[in-house]
């Protein structure tokens, strides 16, 4: 897109060009809207899949479900797509749909304010094309896995070798023959540790909390399967549907159904026992919290890797660093050459929130000072004509997050269509947001996420509320969005989902 003037005006401004932002653009196009823009702080689209380039990076959702329903991809090479394939998929969609003309890369939102007198958002941007964008509607599609968490470890800044976060991989760091420490045992660590074990002299994994891991059963698609995908769109659609229902079925085990959780736990235990012969190591690798309390991980090669003589599992947190020596909470010391921080992201506290100012002069960060809240997981009181994708209670632990983004994008255009006079201002009442949040609390109360005995990133430490996960199936989310409506005048009202007894949760 050509550089904007000092001020450019659009109907809708999308912030972020990952899955959610691109999905929103596609939905705007389908609804007949073309006067929109997308700003992206990176040099290309892709979000998480542009930023994460560590060895072994791949999706843990089946590839044919981790894409847009409107853009099936018969070329996925395997059941679980590599990170670079997903990045390429999003880039191809932008080209095929000719979104380049509405895309501003290397462009960062620095401030956004609601102008009540003119009923629009005034957004300041920096980067390749600094200036101001005025938009009737603001869609925040900034993602939740964008800002790496750097742990507050005494002496970390004294480390003498390469030190970097898994999401900011240093490809100049020479790994061969080196002693590498990986801090953390989440989804990224489980993927990269086996890769590091193949190339380095030794890997030490600092495990604060053991994760539940089930078999990935990963495999590449055969030439015959790829041919079928290319030649038979109906077969591809059937596969997506099958994968969708398989994902929905996993909700029971993740959310605390006793029988389903017991079955899943047995699978995880058998997987560990099949690959880890040492009983002491096997015990250290078994979680002490309920299945589903933290993100359930998929891997075929993590246990074989950590059971080998190329990997040491330190079953305690990193406590301090002095030069090249890392000291664990257990008191054990390790001399290493490289440190990889697989320590996750600032997911519960959105880093952009302090830049967004609503109609009362309050920033979104101030509104969310005790944790993210919303109505319909998409709109926030005090912030007219603003929508948040992949924000409060819009994440999943059992199925594809792309499904949620698609549903939210459709909801946004339906809200815009229903705005009074196709130009009236959409607002959500504070009491509607409060009631929706209360309903979320009721639905979440008995789940492992709240009572499973772990500390997870789904729950905000400030409020103790479940603020990231949606406590239900994808279908329940779609049903919930379908129950909202607008009325005449200047207000945006929810219907019966505002009651704590409404159908928030599994369906």
Please say if the pLDDT value at position 493 is more than 50: no
Residues β-bridged to residue 186:
none
| Average pLDDT over every residue of 221-248 | 97
**pLDDT at res. 346:** 84
**pLDDT at res. 496:** 32
Please say if the pLDDT value at position 13 is more than 90: yes
For residue 478, give every residue at least 6 positions away whose Cβ sits within 8 Å of its Cβ, in sequence order, or none: 407
Predicted confidence band of residue 244 (pLDDT cuts 50, 70, 90): very high
| Average pLDDT over every residue of 398-406 | 97
**pLDDT at res. 455:** 94
**pLDDT at res. 420:** 57
Dump pLDDT digits (tens) for 45-99. Answer: 999 999 999 999 999 999 999 999 999 999 999 999 999 999 999 999 999 999 9
**pLDDT at res. 501:** 30
Please say if the pLDDT value at position 31 is more than 50: yes
CA dihedral over 408, 413, 416, 418, signed as positive or negative: negative
By residue count, the chain amounts to 507
Residue 485 CB neighbour total at 10 angstroms: 12
Please say if the pLDDT value at position 419 is more than 80: no
**pLDDT at res. 77:** 98
**Selection from 86, 110, 107 nearest residue 18 by Cα:** 86
Q: Which range (136-140, 220-224, 413-417) has the least confidence?
A: 413-417
Contact between residue 80 and residue 58 where contact means Cβ atoms under 8 Å apart: yes
Instruction: Choose between 259 and 5: higher pLDDT.
Output: 259
Tokens 């996960």 belong to 469
Hey, do 7-147+347-498 and 156-212+257-341 end up sharing a CATH topology, with the first three levels equal?
yes
Count of H helices and E strands in the chain?
15, 20
Q: In whole angstroms, how far apart are CA 25 and each of 34, 67, 241, 405?
A: 9, 15, 24, 11
| Average pLDDT over every residue of 115-134 | 95
**pLDDT at res. 139:** 98
| Average pLDDT over every residue of 314-336 | 98
Question: Which fold is adopted by the domain 7-147+347-498?
Answer: FAD/NAD(P)-binding domain (3.50.50)
Residue 452 CB neighbour total at 10 angstroms: 17
Encoded tokens for 2? 């050509």
| Average pLDDT over every residue of 149-169 | 97
From the options 3.30.930.10, 3.40.630.10, 3.40.640.10, 3.50.50.60, give the CATH code of 156-212+257-341.
Answer: 3.50.50.60
Q: In whole angstroms, how far apart are CA 91 and each of 87, 103, 332?
A: 6, 12, 46
Please say if the pLDDT value at position 422 is more than 70: no
* Percent of the chain residues past pLDDT 70, beyond the cut: 93
CA distance 137 to 119: 9
**pLDDT at res. 495:** 39
Q: Strand pairing of 202-206 and 386-388? A: unpaired
Tokens 């309390």 belong to 293
Predicted confidence band of residue 3 (pLDDT cuts 50, 70, 90): low
| Average pLDDT over every residue of 435-451 | 96
CA distance 61 to 39: 27
The DSSP code sequence of 327-377 is EETTS-EEE-SEEEE---B--SS-TTGGGEE-TTS-BHHHHTTTS---BTT
**pLDDT at res. 499:** 27
CA distance 186 to 148: 13
Q: pTM value?
A: 0.94
Domain residue limits, the chain: 7-147+347-498, 156-212+257-341
| Average pLDDT over every residue of 264-281 | 98
Q: Which range (92-96, 421-425, 462-466, 481-485) has the least confidence?
A: 421-425
Predicted confidence band of residue 489 (pLDDT cuts 50, 70, 90): very low
**pLDDT at res. 6:** 63
CA dihedral over 58, 64, 67, 73, signed as positive or negative: positive
**pLDDT at res. 492:** 44
**pLDDT at res. 5:** 53
Q: What is the mean pLDDT of the chain?
A: 93
Q: Which range (230-244, 342-356, 394-408, 480-494) has the least confidence?
A: 480-494
Contact between residue 188 and residue 166 where contact means Cβ atoms under 8 Å apart: yes
């Amino acid at each position: 897109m050509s550089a904007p003037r000092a001020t450019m005006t659009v109907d809708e401004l999308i912030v972020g060009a990952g899955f959610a932002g691109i999905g929103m653009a596609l939905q705007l196009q389908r609804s007949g809207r073309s006067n929109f823009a997308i700003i992206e702080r990176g040099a290309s689209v892709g979000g998480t899949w542009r930023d994460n380039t560590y060895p072994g990076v791949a999706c843990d959702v089946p590839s044919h479900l981790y894409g847009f329903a409107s853009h099936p991809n018969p070329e996925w090479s395997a059941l679980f797509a590599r990170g670079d394939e997903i990045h390429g998929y999003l880039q191809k969609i932008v080209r095929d749909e000719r979104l380049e003309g509405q895309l501003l890369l290397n462009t960062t939102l620095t401030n956004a304010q609601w102008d009540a007198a003119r009923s629009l958002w005034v957004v300041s941007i920096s980067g390749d094309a600094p200036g101001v964008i005025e938009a009737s509607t603001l869609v925040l599609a900034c993602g939740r896995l964008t800002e790496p968490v750097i742990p507050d470890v005494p002496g970390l800044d004294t480390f003498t070798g390469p030190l970097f976060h898994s999401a900011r991989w240093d490809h100049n760091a020479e790994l061969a023959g080196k002693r590498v420490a990986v801090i953390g045992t989440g989804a990224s660590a489980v993927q990269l540790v086996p890769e590091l074990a193949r190339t380095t002299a030794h890997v030490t994994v600092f495990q604060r909390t053991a994760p539940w891991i089930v078999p990935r059963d990963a495999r590449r698609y055969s030439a015959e399967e790829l041919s079928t995908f290319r030649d038979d769109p109906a077969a591809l659609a059937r596969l997506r549907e099958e994968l969708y229902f398989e994902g929905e079925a996993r909700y029971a085990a993740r959310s605390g159904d006793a029988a389903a959780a017991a079955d899943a736990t047995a699978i995880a235990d058998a997987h560990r026992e099949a690959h880890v012969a040492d009983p002491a190591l096997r015990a250290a690798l078994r979680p002490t919290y309920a299945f589903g309390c933290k993100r359930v991980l998929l891997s075929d090669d993590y246990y074989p890797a950590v059971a080998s003589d190329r990997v040491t599992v330190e079953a305690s947190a990193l406590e301090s660093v002095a030069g090249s020596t890392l000291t664990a909470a257990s008191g054990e010391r390790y001399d290493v050459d490289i440190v990889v921080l697989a320590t996750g992201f600032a997911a519960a506290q959105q880093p952009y929130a302090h830049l967004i100012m609503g109609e009362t002069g309050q920033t979104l960060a101030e509104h969310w000072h005790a944790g993210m809240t919303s109505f319909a997981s998409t709109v926030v009181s005090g912030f007219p004509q603003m929508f948040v994708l992949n924000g409060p209670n819009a994440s999943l632990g059992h199925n594809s997050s792309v499904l949620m983004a698609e549903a939210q994008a459709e909801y946004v255009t339906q809200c815009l269509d229903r705005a009074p006079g196709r130009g009236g201002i959409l607002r959500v009442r504070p009491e509607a947001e409060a009631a929706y949040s209360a309903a979320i609390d009721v639905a979440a109360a008995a789940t492992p996420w709240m009572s499973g005995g772990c500390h997870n990133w789904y729950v905000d430490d400030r409020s103790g509320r479940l603020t990231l996960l949606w406590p239900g199936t994808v279908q329940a989310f779609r049903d919930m969005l379908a129950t909202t409506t607008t009325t005449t005048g200047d207000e945006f009202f929810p219907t019966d989902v505002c009651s704590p007894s409404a159908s928030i949760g599994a369906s």
